[in-house]
Chains A and B, each alone.
Chain A
Amino acid sequence: MEMQVNGNKSGYVPQPGDFTFLPDRDIATDKNFASISYWKGVAIHFFKDKKAVIGLIIIVAIILLSIFGPMINSYGYRDIVSFRNENNKKVVAKGIAPRIPALHQMLTGESYEDDFADLTFLFGTDDLGRDLWTRTWYGARVSLIIAFVTIFIDMLIGMSYGLISGYFGGVTDQIMQRFVEIANSVPRLVIVSVLAIFMPKGMGLVIVALLLTEWIGMSKIARAEMLKTKEQEYVLASRTLGARNGHIIFKQILPNTIGPIITQVMFSIPTAIFTEAFLSFVGVGIALPQCSVGTLIEDGFNNITTLPYQILPPILVLALLMLGFNFIGDGLREALAPKLEDM
């Protein structure tokens, strides 16, 4: 029909019936993907990625171990393995390297020759005589809760803050950034000590303390991403079409800035875990004999020359957590903001 219109160069007078909308044709939807919702697409994409699935398995395994790990042996996280000898002196199973007596017997044909020869300690015992397997998974539980809660809230606060600050720019941005500087400049130790006057010490305080400062890094990244993306064509297009600010920030720009934000989230995890250990050290964190991955690493470090195996399990847990999150992060980024080539 168009050909006819264009082809006809003689004095044709347009008629009202020349152009009509076709009935029921949704031109905005790509037919190939029409039946799949956005999130379903993300899921499909994510599970097709082998690395992402491995990451997910690692994280799920650590979560399961942190719940059920302490149950597979009879030691509690605070139980000191000991007995009294004939002189009524306490003999404590401290500083024992990882051991499985049965396996040792099988491999070397010998059995251990100390007072705790028959006991199995998968990760060994610490310098107080407590089973490190139990403590590692107990600590992982504590650290995971702290890390997840703080990072989730930080992400919400930091991301919104940074995106809004970057999007509006100008005076809004100036004021918001000065506030960040103020919030970031008071030493954490000072803030936490003051907080501890008003709040009971423990996990709650640790989470609040982490919340107070950790969102800043996230907001910086989000702001930088916003500054980079907000002038791009699709944003301009949306604005021209009359989309509201909220819609542009959270529906259009956010998914496209997800990559660096996920990287930042990942790097926040060890920071959260180490900060928590530092807070426990200065007395605002969780109280002994409870433990976390951070305090376990610190204990291990304190004994690194005498009991070098002690630092390995918590560091491995942390590294695996990181690896898992890293793979998941990569997978999520690709899945959330698919590039052309992947379609």
Chain B
Amino acid sequence: MTKYILKRVGMALLTLLIITFLLFLLVRIMPGNPFPSERMSADQIANKRAEMGLDNPILVQFVDYIRKLLLEGDFGNGTSLYYGVPINTVLSSCMSNSFRIGGLAILIGTALGLILGITAALHKGKFLDGFCTVLSIIGVCVPSYVFLIFLQYYFSFKIPFFPYFFDAKRFLFSSIIPSLSLSLFTLSTIARFTRNEMVEVMDSDYVRLAESKGLYGNSLVRRHVLRNALIPIVTVLAPLIVDLLTGALVVEKIYGINGIGKLMVDAITGEGIDYNYVLALGILYSTLYIGIMLVVDILYGILDPRIRVQGKAGDA
């Protein structure tokens, strides 16, 4: 198992390198311009490009970038976004906000989603099941920012209990509204998948066998149904986690959250394309995604011994 994990980590790092290079290339052929100045003359712009090293061969730029990143952990400075400020400074504050709000949203969404899904599956075809279906459809159809507007209007304005805008000083308190609205999509998706998976597993032969052996109720669900139903749910959950952690643009905009989602869009659609920000955020996103997929693969092994055997076979 250890050898398998090590090998997977190595592979992940290699993938990350390829992604960084791809990003490096793609960002540079994007339409737009890092210095879309209306006031600088051509020679000034040329000087700025040269200063940034944009005139060097792309491979040289790439190697420079990677070296700086690996040796000093430095993503460089913003070029058109928060000019001159080290990206690490801005990124760390944005990350802490997005991670915490997204993390809270995942917790709420997964917990409630599982409860709702299990309840629906156990009451298949009855009222609760239909209720869960409708709820999960609403949750997926109505964008999270509409929920946010709604919550903000009623619980920050009509009843001024929560702060109207995000306030980093009162972190937990002011993240309740955005986290709740963000969690609804996760909640709906998880509830739906859990319900369908559970229903399928409950129909399977081994559950019937367990039932016929006299198992019933909680212990049946816990020991036989849940464990098997959870595997595909982990797959659904993983990308949702990455999406939530990397911020939600509109929610951040409305609630005044200084987060990653807004940063990415600002980096691309702001005054100029900020190559360094796009790269830094791209790398952050890929690292998260690959990391979580790695964890999922390993989790599979724990949840389902058959796959562990497979993994070893593939390893050999």
Asked if B46 is an interface residue, CB under 8 A from chain A, the answer is: no
B278 touches A (CB below 8 Å): yes
Residues on the A chain within 8 Å of B313, using CB:
169-170
Most chain B CB within 10 A, of A177, A187, A274, is at A187
- CB of B88 closer than 8 Å to a CB of A: no
**A335 in contact (CB, < 8 A):** no
Q: Which of A170, A182, A304, A322 contacts B140 (CB 8 A)?
A: A322
Contact B304 A228 (CB under 8 A): yes
Assess whether A304 is in contact with B149, with CB atoms less than 8 Å apart.
Answer: yes
Tell me the residues in window 117-163 of chain B with beta carbons closer than 8 Å to chain A beta carbons: 133-134, 137-138, 140-143, 145-146, 149
Contact flags (1/0) for B279-307 with A, using CB distance below 8 Å?
Answer: 00110011001100100000010001011
Across the interface, which residues of B come within 8 angstroms of A182, CB to CB?
15, 18-19, 22
CB <8 Å contact, A189 and B239: no
Query: B15–A259 contact, CB under 8 A?
Result: no
* Contact A181–B293 (Cβ < 8 Å): yes
B268 interfacial contact with A, CB 8 Å: yes
12 contacting pairs across A/B (C-beta < 8 A)? A174-B314, A181-B286, A185-B286, A190-B268, A197-B29, A220-B238, A220-B239, A224-B234, A227-B307, A228-B228, A260-B193, A326-B137
Complex Cα distance A109/B42, Å? 70
- A193 pairs with B31, CB closer than 8 A: yes
Hey, which chain B residues are within 8 Å of A225, CB to CB?
Answer: 232
Using Cβ atoms and an 8 Å threshold, which residues of chain B touch A190?
23, 26-27, 30, 268, 278, 282
Shortest A59–chain B CB gap in Å is 14
CA distance A225 to B27 in the complex (A): 36
A106 at the interface (CB under 8 A from B): no
Contacts of A197 in B (CB 8 A): 29, 31
Smallest Cβ distance from B304 to chain A, in angstroms?
Answer: 7
From the candidates A169, A220, A264, name the one contacting B310 in the complex (CB within 8 A): A169
C-alpha gap A139/B193 in the complex (Å): 29
**In the bound complex, CA of A75 to CA of B196 (Å):** 44
Partner-A contacts on B (CB < 8 A): 11-12, 14-15, 18-19, 22-23, 26-27, 29-32, 133-134, 137-138, 140-143, 145-146, 149, 189, 192-193, 196-197, 200, 203, 228, 231-232, 234-236, 238-239, 264-265, 268-269, 278, 281-282, 285-286, 289-290, 293, 300, 304, 306-307, 310, 313-314
CA distance A197 to B23 in the complex (A): 16
Task: Establish whether residues B30 and A217, one from each chain, have CB atoms under 8 Å apart when the complex forms.
Answer: no
Contact partner of B15 (CB less than 8 A), chosen from A178, A221, A223, is A178
Q: Which residues of B contact A260 (CB under 8 A)?
A: 193, 196-197, 232
Check if B265 sits within 8 Å of A189, measured CB to CB. Answer: yes
Residue of B140, B196, B265 with highest tally of chain A CB at under 10 A: B140
Q: Which residues of A contact B (CB under 8 A)?
A: 169-171, 173-174, 177-178, 181-182, 184-187, 189-191, 193-194, 196-197, 216-217, 220-221, 223-225, 227-228, 231, 259-260, 263-264, 267, 270, 274, 282, 297, 301, 304, 311, 315, 318-319, 322-323, 326, 333, 339, 341
CB <8 Å contact, B137 and A221: no
A221 neighbours in B (Cβ, 8 Å): 232, 235-236
Nearest A-chain residue to B297, judged by Cβ: A177
Residue contact A263 to B196, C-beta cutoff 8 Å = yes
List the A residue with the shortest CB-CB distance to B193: A263
Contacts of A339 in B (CB 8 A): 203
CB–CB A181/B306 < 8 A: no
A37 to B235, CA, bound (A): 35
Cβ-defined contact, B314 with A227, below 8 A: no
Given known contacts A181-B286, A224-B232, A228-B228, A191 and B26 CB-to-CB distance under 8 angstroms: yes
* Contacting residues, chain B, for A223 (C-beta < 8 A): 235
Given A177-B293, A224-B232, A228-B304: A185 and B19 interface contact (C-beta under 8 Å): yes
Query: Contact at A186–B23, with CB atoms within 8 Å?
Result: yes
Q: Which residue of A lies closest to B25 (CB)?
A: A194
Q: Which residues of B contact A220 (CB under 8 A)?
A: 235-236, 238-239
Q: B314 is contacted by which of A170, A184, A341 (Cβ under 8 Å)?
A: A170
> How far, in whole Å, are A282 and B172 apart by their CA atoms in the complex?
33
A311 to B140: give the CA distance in the assembly, Å: 16
Asked whether A224 lies within 8 Å of B141 as measured between CB atoms, the reply is: no
| A176, chain B: closest CB distance, angstroms | 12
A220-B234 Cα distance, complex, nearest whole Å:
10
A224 near B231: Cβ-Cβ < 8 Å: yes
Evaluate contact between A185 and B290: CB separation under 8 angstroms: yes
Query: How far apart are the CA atoms of A51 and B197 in the complex, in Å?
Result: 19
Pair B140/A186 contact, Cβ less than 8 Å: no
A186-B23, A190-B268, A259-B200 as given contacts; A181 in contact with B15, CB under 8 Å = yes
Query: In the complex, are the beta carbons of B203 and A315 less than 8 A apart?
Result: no
Name the residue on A nearest B125 (C-beta). A51
